[in-house]
Structure 1
Amino acid sequence: MSGPGRLDVVGSGLSMLCAVHCLAAPLLSAALPLLAGEGVELGAFLVLAGFTALVIGSGVRRHRRPGSLVLLALGLAALTALRALEGAELEGAEDGPLGPALVVLGSALLVAAHLANRRALRAHAGCC
């Protein structure tokens, strides 16, 4: 597996860990408030977004297929909407189904972006 391919595997794993963290945040905040604090949430989001954009962006420069960028943009939009929803502090917004749905959707789209990027990198390596 090539270096960029490994980074996509790492990125997919980070996206899945992010989803687990976000879905378990209510339990984490009761047991370990430090792991579910606002600073940790924002920091994890920024690291995930930056890493994913870097890996996908470098892959697209090589293989010239924009599909993974579209998935990246949709995934980051879903996670950004979640952050905005949490920031709006709407009554019951975090407890309803929309929060977990955005977590799952955003993370799944980021994993799909990494998989599409990896597939495109493999196809590009095979043709050139």
Structure 2
Amino acid sequence: MENIFRRMNLDTIGIGASMICAVHCALLPLLFAALPLLGMEITENTVLEYCLLLFSFGIGALALGQGYLRHHRRLLPLLLFISGFALLLGGHFWTEAAAWEYTLICIGAAAIVGAHLLNQRHRRYCRVHKHH
């Protein structure tokens, strides 16, 4: 199982998950405004939103945790990920910030993507051990 995680680039998967979440949350309501008229509510599907959040968090925790523990020991990617995820959750569940929902979600997704990119960069220049 560990060999599978070493071959997969979890940061790339995490970036993809964050981008899918951002597109789903920000652009889909603009592009598919007519779907509720047809009885399709993909933009307000709470099961889909929870699955995207859970998937994004799971991949991020694996990728960034692995990068921190095995490669670089730098906290900035982890802090950026935690901040981004907090913004995502705030955009989804903080009802008083309804006017800021899409802004919080987009900034949160961008922070998560930034955390994965930073993690990838730090993994390339590993401080913990030498790669050949």
State TM-score, norm by structure 2.
Answer: 0.78
Equivalenced residues, count:
119
Unaligned runs of 5+ in 2: 1-5
Is 1:43 matched with 2:47? no
Is 1:7 matched with 2:10? yes
Does the 8 Å CA contact 1:29/1:37 hold for their aligned counterparts?
no
- What does residue 82 of structure 2 align with? 73
Structure 1's consecutive aligned runs of 4 or more residues displaced over 4 angstroms after TM superposition are: 27-30
Whole-angstrom distance in 2 between the partners of 1:120 and 1:22: 29
Give CA-to-partner distance per residue, 1:1-22, whole Å, 9 cap, x none: x736x22112112111110100
Does the 8 Å CA contact 2:86/2:108 hold for their aligned counterparts?
yes
- What does residue 109 of structure 1 align with? 111
One-letter amino acid matched to 1:20:
V
The alpha-carbon deviation at position 23 of structure 1 amounts to 0.6
- What does residue 62 of structure 2 align with? 54
Seen in structure 2, the aligned counterparts of structure 1 residues 48 and 29 have a Cα distance that, compared at 3 Å, is: farther
Give the superposed CA RMSD.
2.3
Is 1:18 matched with 2:56? no
Give CA-to-partner distance per residue, 1:65-103, whole Å, 9 cap, x none: 111101111101101111222xx3x5xx54x3x111111
Bigger Rg over Cα: 2
Bigger RCO of structures 1 and 2 (CA < 8 A, at least 6 apart): 1
Unaligned runs of 5+ in 1: none
